Amino acid sequence: MTQSQVAAHLADKVGITKKQAKSTLEELTNLVVRELKREGSLRLAGLGIFRKRKTKARKGRNPATGEEIKIPARTRLRFTPAKSLKDSVLGAK
């Protein structure tokens, strides 16, 4: 589903214009980015948790040559879905 399709769906369900729905989606995206930069995590009830996670530097191998290389430390993004989301999508076990 594209952002335009999501905006159209929201506009239809909530009863607002597509322009307002697109603006709302953009503001939500900006909020997620701002909170991840500032706090490092953002929890959305019923959806899940977005987190920044630091990985350590490590050694790896070039698969073509077998040469050992150094992989630098970096920060990655991680999303952990909420249990209710997993159960809804995958079905309860």
If asked whether residues 22 and 58 sit together in one domain, one would say no
Give the predicted TM-score (pTM) of the model.
0.72
What confidence score (pLDDT) does residue 92 get?
73
Question: Which of 55, 31, 54 lies closest to 43, judged by CA?
Answer: 31
Question: d(Cα 37, Cα 75) in Å, to the nearest integer?
Answer: 11
If asked whether residues 34 and 47 sit together in one domain, one would say no
If asked whether residues 54 and 71 sit together in one domain, one would say yes
What confidence score (pLDDT) does residue 84 get?
92
What confidence score (pLDDT) does residue 93 get?
65
> How are the residues of the chain apportioned to helix, strand and coil, as percentages rounded to the nearest 5?
45, 30, 25
What confidence score (pLDDT) does residue 41 get?
92
Q: Mean pLDDT for each 10-residue chunk of the chain (93 residues)?
A: 92 93 94 92 93 95 94 95 93 75
Question: d(Cα 47, Cα 32) in Å, to the nearest integer?
Answer: 13
Range of the domain at 70: 41-93
What confidence score (pLDDT) does residue 91 get?
86
If asked whether residues 53 and 93 sit together in one domain, one would say yes
How many structural domains comprise the chain? Answer: 2
If asked whether residues 26 and 57 sit together in one domain, one would say no
Categorise residue 92: left if φ over 0, alpha if ψ from -120 to 50, beta otherwise.
beta
If asked whether residues 28 and 54 sit together in one domain, one would say no
